[in-house]
Amino acid sequence: MELAYYGGEFRDINEAVIPIDERGHQFGDGVYEFIRVYKGVPFSIERHLDRLERSAKAIFIELPVSRQELKDIIHQAMEKSTLKDADIYIQVTRGIAPRNHLFPDVPTQLALTIRHPRQTPEEAYEKGISTLLLEDERWANCYIKSLNLLPNLLAKQAAASKGCKEAILVKDGYITEGSSSNVFAIKDNVLFTTPATRKILSGITRANVLECAQEQAIQIREQNMTPSFLKDADEVFITSTSVGLLPVSKIDEVELPAFRPVTVALKHAYSLRTAGTKAYQ
Protein backbone atom coordinates (compact mmCIF):
# COMPACT_ATOMS: atom_id res chain seq x y z
CA MET A 1 0.00 0.00 0.00
CA GLU A 2 1.25 3.50 -0.85
CA LEU A 3 0.85 5.94 2.04
CA ALA A 4 1.19 9.62 2.90
CA TYR A 5 1.99 11.19 6.26
CA TYR A 6 0.86 14.74 7.04
CA GLY A 7 -0.38 16.51 10.15
CA GLY A 8 0.81 13.64 12.30
CA GLU A 9 -1.35 11.04 10.55
CA PHE A 10 -0.92 8.33 7.94
CA ARG A 11 -3.45 8.08 5.13
CA ASP A 12 -3.90 6.26 1.85
CA ILE A 13 -1.89 8.32 -0.61
CA ASN A 14 -4.98 9.02 -2.72
CA GLU A 15 -6.82 10.49 0.28
CA ALA A 16 -4.08 12.80 1.56
CA VAL A 17 -4.65 16.56 1.26
CA ILE A 18 -2.60 19.67 2.06
CA PRO A 19 -4.09 23.08 3.06
CA ILE A 20 -4.22 25.71 0.33
CA ASP A 21 -2.15 28.09 2.51
CA GLU A 22 0.70 25.60 2.85
CA ARG A 23 3.83 27.61 2.02
CA GLY A 24 5.29 24.66 0.16
CA HIS A 25 2.32 24.99 -2.19
CA GLN A 26 2.26 28.80 -2.27
CA PHE A 27 5.98 29.57 -2.51
CA GLY A 28 7.92 26.32 -2.74
CA ASP A 29 9.12 27.43 0.70
CA GLY A 30 10.73 24.26 1.94
CA VAL A 31 13.23 21.47 1.42
CA TYR A 32 13.01 17.77 0.68
CA GLU A 33 14.80 14.43 0.59
CA PHE A 34 14.30 11.27 -1.43
CA ILE A 35 15.36 7.93 0.04
CA ARG A 36 15.37 4.52 -1.61
CA VAL A 37 14.46 1.49 0.50
CA TYR A 38 16.11 -1.81 -0.43
CA LYS A 39 14.96 -5.04 1.21
CA GLY A 40 13.36 -3.19 4.10
CA VAL A 41 16.33 -0.91 4.82
CA PRO A 42 16.40 2.82 3.90
CA PHE A 43 19.74 3.17 2.10
CA SER A 44 22.18 5.81 3.42
CA ILE A 45 19.48 7.21 5.70
CA GLU A 46 21.95 9.04 7.94
CA ARG A 47 23.47 10.87 4.98
CA HIS A 48 20.04 11.81 3.68
CA LEU A 49 18.99 13.17 7.07
CA ASP A 50 22.28 15.05 7.41
CA ARG A 51 21.54 16.79 4.11
CA LEU A 52 17.92 17.47 5.07
CA GLU A 53 19.13 19.19 8.23
CA ARG A 54 21.72 21.22 6.29
CA SER A 55 19.17 22.30 3.69
CA ALA A 56 16.62 23.29 6.34
CA LYS A 57 19.22 25.26 8.29
CA ALA A 58 20.32 27.08 5.13
CA ILE A 59 16.82 28.52 4.63
CA PHE A 60 16.15 29.09 8.36
CA ILE A 61 13.62 26.31 8.82
CA GLU A 62 13.54 24.35 12.06
CA LEU A 63 12.58 20.72 11.57
CA PRO A 64 9.22 20.00 13.24
CA VAL A 65 10.45 16.69 14.71
CA SER A 66 13.73 15.40 16.04
CA ARG A 67 16.01 13.24 13.91
CA GLN A 68 15.02 10.13 15.88
CA GLU A 69 11.32 10.98 15.60
CA LEU A 70 11.70 11.35 11.84
CA LYS A 71 13.46 7.99 11.63
CA ASP A 72 10.62 6.48 13.65
CA ILE A 73 8.06 7.95 11.21
CA ILE A 74 10.02 6.52 8.27
CA HIS A 75 10.04 3.06 9.84
CA GLN A 76 6.33 3.34 10.68
CA ALA A 77 5.66 4.16 7.03
CA MET A 78 7.60 1.09 5.97
CA GLU A 79 5.72 -1.13 8.42
CA LYS A 80 2.27 0.23 7.60
CA SER A 81 2.83 0.08 3.84
CA THR A 82 4.46 -3.39 4.04
CA LEU A 83 6.70 -2.31 1.14
CA LYS A 84 10.16 -3.89 1.27
CA ASP A 85 11.44 -1.90 -1.71
CA ALA A 86 10.16 1.66 -1.87
CA ASP A 87 10.69 5.34 -2.63
CA ILE A 88 10.34 7.62 0.40
CA TYR A 89 9.84 11.34 -0.20
CA ILE A 90 10.24 13.72 2.76
CA GLN A 91 9.20 17.37 2.61
CA VAL A 92 9.58 20.06 5.28
CA THR A 93 7.98 23.48 4.77
CA ARG A 94 7.79 26.75 6.68
CA GLY A 95 4.19 26.01 7.59
CA ILE A 96 0.61 27.07 6.98
CA ALA A 97 -0.21 30.79 6.91
CA PRO A 98 -2.03 33.37 4.74
CA ARG A 99 0.08 34.27 1.73
CA ASN A 100 2.80 36.75 2.67
CA HIS A 101 6.42 36.82 1.55
CA LEU A 102 7.73 37.39 5.09
CA PHE A 103 8.35 34.34 7.26
CA PRO A 104 5.28 33.56 9.41
CA ASP A 105 5.44 32.67 13.08
CA VAL A 106 3.77 29.27 12.69
CA PRO A 107 4.85 25.65 13.17
CA THR A 108 6.84 24.09 10.36
CA GLN A 109 5.24 21.13 8.60
CA LEU A 110 6.40 17.63 7.71
CA ALA A 111 5.01 15.57 4.84
CA LEU A 112 6.14 12.12 3.76
CA THR A 113 5.10 9.61 1.14
CA ILE A 114 6.07 6.00 0.58
CA ARG A 115 5.48 4.47 -2.85
CA HIS A 116 6.51 1.55 -4.98
CA PRO A 117 10.00 2.29 -6.37
CA ARG A 118 10.34 3.93 -9.74
CA GLN A 119 11.85 1.53 -12.23
CA THR A 120 14.45 2.39 -14.87
CA PRO A 121 14.32 0.05 -17.89
CA GLU A 122 17.15 -2.47 -17.90
CA GLU A 123 17.87 -1.46 -21.50
CA ALA A 124 18.95 1.98 -20.26
CA TYR A 125 21.61 0.39 -18.04
CA GLU A 126 22.80 -1.83 -20.87
CA LYS A 127 22.82 0.68 -23.74
CA GLY A 128 23.08 4.00 -21.92
CA ILE A 129 20.99 7.14 -22.33
CA SER A 130 21.05 10.17 -24.60
CA THR A 131 21.65 13.55 -22.98
CA LEU A 132 21.42 17.20 -24.01
CA LEU A 133 23.74 20.02 -22.94
CA LEU A 134 21.83 23.08 -21.73
CA GLU A 135 22.66 26.36 -20.02
CA ASP A 136 22.35 26.11 -16.23
CA GLU A 137 19.78 28.79 -15.37
CA ARG A 138 19.28 27.85 -11.72
CA TRP A 139 19.99 30.00 -8.67
CA ALA A 140 23.32 30.32 -6.85
CA ASN A 141 22.57 27.94 -3.97
CA CYS A 142 22.09 24.58 -5.66
CA TYR A 143 23.61 22.79 -2.65
CA ILE A 144 20.23 23.29 -0.93
CA LYS A 145 17.70 20.58 -1.80
CA SER A 146 14.96 23.15 -2.26
CA LEU A 147 11.37 22.61 -3.39
CA ASN A 148 12.00 25.23 -6.08
CA LEU A 149 12.73 22.99 -9.07
CA LEU A 150 11.21 24.89 -11.99
CA PRO A 151 14.54 25.43 -13.85
CA ASN A 152 15.30 21.72 -13.42
CA LEU A 153 11.88 20.78 -14.79
CA LEU A 154 12.28 23.08 -17.79
CA ALA A 155 15.70 21.61 -18.55
CA LYS A 156 14.45 18.03 -18.20
CA GLN A 157 11.48 18.77 -20.47
CA ALA A 158 13.70 20.47 -23.05
CA ALA A 159 15.89 17.36 -23.11
CA ALA A 160 12.84 15.11 -23.44
CA SER A 161 11.59 17.16 -26.38
CA LYS A 162 14.83 16.22 -28.18
CA GLY A 163 14.47 12.54 -27.32
CA CYS A 164 16.95 12.69 -24.44
CA LYS A 165 16.57 11.27 -20.94
CA GLU A 166 18.60 13.88 -19.09
CA ALA A 167 19.83 17.45 -19.44
CA ILE A 168 23.47 18.08 -18.53
CA LEU A 169 23.80 21.65 -17.31
CA VAL A 170 26.59 24.08 -18.17
CA LYS A 171 27.43 27.27 -16.26
CA ASP A 172 30.21 29.70 -17.19
CA GLY A 173 31.60 27.16 -19.64
CA TYR A 174 31.77 24.22 -17.23
CA ILE A 175 29.59 21.22 -16.46
CA THR A 176 27.69 21.55 -13.18
CA GLU A 177 25.37 18.53 -12.99
CA GLY A 178 22.30 16.96 -14.56
CA SER A 179 18.80 18.33 -14.10
CA SER A 180 18.24 15.55 -11.54
CA SER A 181 21.63 13.85 -11.28
CA ASN A 182 25.36 14.24 -10.78
CA VAL A 183 27.72 13.72 -13.72
CA PHE A 184 30.89 11.62 -13.91
CA ALA A 185 33.44 11.03 -16.67
CA ILE A 186 36.26 8.53 -17.09
CA LYS A 187 39.35 9.48 -19.07
CA ASP A 188 42.45 7.28 -19.17
CA ASN A 189 41.09 5.27 -16.21
CA VAL A 190 40.75 8.40 -14.05
CA LEU A 191 37.33 9.26 -12.61
CA PHE A 192 36.30 12.92 -12.95
CA THR A 193 33.37 14.74 -11.40
CA THR A 194 32.42 18.34 -10.68
CA PRO A 195 33.57 19.56 -7.23
CA ALA A 196 30.92 19.72 -4.50
CA THR A 197 30.47 23.49 -4.32
CA ARG A 198 27.35 25.63 -3.91
CA LYS A 199 26.80 25.22 -7.66
CA ILE A 200 25.67 21.58 -7.36
CA LEU A 201 23.61 19.35 -5.12
CA SER A 202 26.16 16.93 -3.72
CA GLY A 203 24.31 13.67 -4.21
CA ILE A 204 24.18 10.79 -1.76
CA THR A 205 24.71 8.34 -4.63
CA ARG A 206 27.61 10.52 -5.79
CA ALA A 207 29.26 10.11 -2.38
CA ASN A 208 28.73 6.34 -2.40
CA VAL A 209 30.15 5.99 -5.91
CA LEU A 210 33.24 8.01 -4.97
CA GLU A 211 33.77 5.63 -2.05
CA CYS A 212 33.33 2.66 -4.38
CA ALA A 213 36.01 4.14 -6.63
CA GLN A 214 38.37 4.60 -3.68
CA GLU A 215 37.84 0.99 -2.63
CA GLN A 216 38.80 -0.13 -6.14
CA ALA A 217 41.89 2.11 -6.20
CA ILE A 218 40.49 4.20 -9.06
CA GLN A 219 42.13 7.61 -9.26
CA ILE A 220 39.63 10.42 -8.60
CA ARG A 221 39.75 14.05 -9.65
CA GLU A 222 37.07 16.46 -8.52
CA GLN A 223 37.55 19.26 -11.01
CA ASN A 224 35.62 21.41 -13.44
CA MET A 225 34.91 19.78 -16.80
CA THR A 226 34.16 21.52 -20.08
CA PRO A 227 31.53 20.22 -22.50
CA SER A 228 34.30 19.26 -24.94
CA PHE A 229 36.10 17.29 -22.22
CA LEU A 230 32.90 15.40 -21.45
CA LYS A 231 32.26 14.61 -25.11
CA ASP A 232 35.82 13.35 -25.50
CA ALA A 233 35.68 11.12 -22.40
CA ASP A 234 36.10 7.35 -22.56
CA GLU A 235 33.00 6.85 -20.41
CA VAL A 236 30.29 9.08 -18.93
CA PHE A 237 27.60 8.23 -16.41
CA ILE A 238 25.10 9.96 -14.15
CA THR A 239 24.08 9.15 -10.59
CA SER A 240 21.00 9.73 -8.46
CA THR A 241 19.02 7.99 -5.75
CA SER A 242 16.31 6.97 -8.20
CA VAL A 243 18.52 5.55 -10.99
CA GLY A 244 21.66 4.59 -9.09
CA LEU A 245 24.45 4.66 -11.69
CA LEU A 246 23.31 5.07 -15.30
CA PRO A 247 25.67 5.16 -18.31
CA VAL A 248 25.50 7.90 -20.94
CA SER A 249 25.73 6.81 -24.57
CA LYS A 250 25.25 10.17 -26.27
CA ILE A 251 25.82 13.87 -25.52
CA ASP A 252 24.08 16.14 -28.00
CA GLU A 253 25.03 14.51 -31.32
CA VAL A 254 28.24 12.90 -30.05
CA GLU A 255 28.15 9.12 -29.61
CA LEU A 256 30.25 7.83 -26.70
CA PRO A 257 32.13 4.50 -26.64
CA ALA A 258 29.97 1.47 -25.87
CA PHE A 259 32.82 -0.20 -23.96
CA ARG A 260 32.45 0.97 -20.34
CA PRO A 261 34.61 -1.19 -18.06
CA VAL A 262 34.97 1.35 -15.24
CA THR A 263 31.28 2.22 -15.28
CA VAL A 264 30.35 -1.46 -15.14
CA ALA A 265 32.74 -2.07 -12.23
CA LEU A 266 31.42 0.89 -10.25
CA LYS A 267 27.81 -0.04 -10.94
CA HIS A 268 28.50 -3.54 -9.64
CA ALA A 269 30.18 -2.16 -6.52
CA TYR A 270 27.29 0.22 -5.89
CA SER A 271 24.78 -2.61 -6.34
CA LEU A 272 26.63 -4.61 -3.70
CA ARG A 273 26.26 -1.67 -1.33
CA THR A 274 22.51 -1.44 -1.84
CA ALA A 275 22.21 -5.22 -1.46
CA GLY A 276 23.97 -5.06 1.90
CA THR A 277 22.46 -1.82 3.09
CA LYS A 278 22.98 -2.28 6.83
CA ALA A 279 26.70 -1.68 6.35
CA TYR A 280 26.18 1.70 4.66
CA GLN A 281 23.91 3.77 6.89
d(C-alpha 47, C-alpha 62), whole Å: 18
Determine the residue type at 191: L
User: Which residues are identified as catalytic?
Assistant: 145
Backbone φ, ψ for residue 185 (5° rounding): -135, 150
How far are the Cα atoms of 61, 63, 100, 120, 128 from residue 58, in angstroms, in the given order? Answer: 8, 12, 20, 32, 36
Return all residues near 150 (Cβ < 8 A) that are at least 6 apart: none
Instruction: Tell how strand 190-193 and strand 219-222 pair up.
Output: parallel
Residue 25 parent element (H or E): helix 23-27
